[in-house]
């Protein structure tokens, strides 16, 4: 095995001290080091294929150049839900942004009893992005570490944390109002199990807001729960039909669930949107890779990831507290049809 080139090897080959070599390669300014000496050291390091040790750089700069992304596992699954394309798009944007700024990414899921702060300190993280957490004692412990933290999609009222979010309640309102404006009054709501301070609870409140505004009463028989996954929503389809509530439309709180529900309905002979209209949330690429293409609430997931990365890097480097709310809007595709007045009393044809 080839011996790893050390900073001592570079110094010896360049004919300068280890201290001078360290100053040049770490970018530290020193008036006593001439431009010619700096050039020789850099060319020598490149010629010898020198790669600095992160542990040594940490000792010198007090920075690990590591940014952590923590994804708490809040659902029933113990696995990171990368089957949901939301995570892939978000993490791709985070990784690209931090890499362009000279940092590296560490991804970790956490179970319900795992301490975020222990992960941060064990890995010597410079900054942390936490995606989709709830108020909890672990966040209080994170504050004691002094490590900058950016919360994404988290309804945590604490000025310590930087935040990147959307207005989920408004998004739920937009989705439901869109269905109402297209003539639907029997509207199913499909989400994961609702929890206080969660994004799905906020989207449910938006659903309620739109129904109330239109003078439509909330019918709890039209509320359905499943995991945020394709398989779980696919399996939910027969239950929606079996209940026989006559919904003509459904607001599904994530596109991956909407896709599963659409295909689950198709598998039992129910057409979307002819028999029931579906609107999703997120506007992930898969929303356009299916038939019908999914009408959905668009959020800029790539912008959400890059913004979170920019903020955490700024914070590591001494930047100010920041809170960013990104916009939402409806993208019209093929999974919602306008219901004509004469159809209002019929409901879903398979249930009539």
The per-residue DSSP string of 132-168 comes to S--S-HHHHHHHHHT--EEEES-----TTSEEEEE-H
For residue range 22-42, what is the model confidence (pLDDT) as tens digits? 888 877 776 688 899 999 999
Q: How many CA atoms lie within 13 A of 146 on its CB side?
A: 2
CA gyration radius, the chain = 26
CB 302 within 8 A of CB 310: no
Return the structure tokens found at 44: 């020598």
For residue range 263-321, what is the model confidence (pLDDT) as tens digits? 999 999 999 999 999 999 999 999 999 999 999 999 999 999 999 999 999 999 889 99
Q: What is the set of domains in the chain, with CATH numbers?
A: 7-61 (1.10.260.40), 66-167+301-326 (3.40.50.2300), 168-299+331-351 (3.40.50.2300)
Return the structure tokens found at 295: 């009408």
- Cα separation, 59 vs 38, whole angstroms: 22
What is the reported pTM?
Answer: 0.80
CB 259 within 8 A of CB 286: yes
């Amino acid at each position: 095995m080839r011996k790893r080139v050390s900073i001592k090897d570079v110094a010896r080959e360049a004919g300068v001290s280890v201290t001078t070599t360290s100053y040049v390669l770490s970018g530290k300014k020193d008036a006593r080091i001439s431009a010619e000496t700096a050039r020789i050291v850099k060319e020598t390091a490149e010629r010898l294929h020198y790669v600095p040790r992160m542990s040594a750089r940490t000792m010198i700069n007090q920075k690990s150049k590591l940014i952590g992304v923590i994804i708490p596992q809040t659902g029933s699954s113990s696995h990171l839900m990368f089957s949901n394309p939301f995570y892939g798009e978000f993490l791709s944007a985070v990784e690209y942004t931090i890499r362009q700024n000279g940092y590296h990414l560490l991804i970790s899921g956490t179970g319900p009893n795992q301490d975020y702060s222990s992960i941060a300190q064990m890995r010597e993280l410079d900054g942390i992005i936490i995606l989709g957490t709830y108020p909890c004692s672990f966040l209080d412990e994170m504050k004691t570490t002094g490590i900058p933290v950016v919360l994404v999609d988290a309804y945590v009222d604490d000025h310590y944390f930087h935040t990147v979010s959307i207005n989920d309640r408004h998004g739920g309102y937009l989705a439901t109002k869109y269905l109402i404006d297209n003539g639907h009054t029997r509207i199913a709501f499909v989400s994961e199990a609702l929890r206080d301070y969660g994004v799905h609870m906020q989207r449910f409140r938006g659903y309620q807001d739109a129904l109330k505004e239109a003078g439509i009463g909330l019918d709890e028989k039209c509320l359905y729960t499943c995991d945020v996954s394709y398989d779980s929503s696919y399996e939910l389809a027969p239950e929606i039909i079996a209940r026989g509530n006559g919904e003509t439309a459904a607001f599904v709180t994530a596109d991956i669930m909407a896709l599963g529900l659409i295909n689950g309905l198709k598998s039992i002979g129910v057409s979307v949107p002819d028999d029931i209209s579906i609107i999703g949330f997120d506007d992930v690429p898969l929303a356009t890779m299916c038939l019908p293409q999914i009408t959905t609430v668009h959020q800029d997931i790539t912008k959400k990831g890059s913004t979170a990365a920019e903020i955490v890097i700024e914070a590591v480097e001494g930047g100010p507290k920041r809170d960013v709310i990104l916009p939402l809007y409806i993208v019209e595709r093929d999974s919602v049809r306008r219901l004509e007045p004469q159809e209002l009393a019929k409901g879903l044809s398979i249930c009539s």
